[in-house]
């Protein structure tokens, strides 16, 4: 395929996915990807000198860096 060609969204089949986004492994257009992201109920964060943890409560995620003021 050419560098400037676009790919169809695998979710709605109406939107197009930019080549750079497709090469990163995303097969959905930006609006469909945004909908999928808002359905996610957790986030993954690395812990210092440890492994990755799944967080479902945003307050626990904010406690990871107590020195941060905002």
pTM for this predicted structure: 0.52
Span 20-47, pLDDT tens digits: 888 999 899 989 988 888 887 888 888 7
Specify the pLDDT at position 6.
Answer: 66
62: left (phi over 0), alpha (psi -120 to 50) or beta: alpha
Q: Per-residue pLDDT for 1 more than 50?
A: no
CA distance from start to end of the chain: 46
pLDDT digits (tens, 9 = 90+) for 52-62: 888 888 787 77
């Amino acid at each position: 395929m050419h560098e400037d060609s676009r790919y169809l969204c695998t979710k709605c089949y109406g939107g197009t996915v930019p080549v750079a986004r497709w090469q990163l492994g995303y097969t959905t257009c930006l609006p469909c990807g945004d909908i999928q992201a808002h359905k996610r109920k957790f986030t993954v964060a690395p812990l210092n000198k440890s492994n990755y943890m799944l967080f479902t409560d945003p307050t626990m995620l904010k406690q990871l860096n107590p020195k941060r003021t905002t």
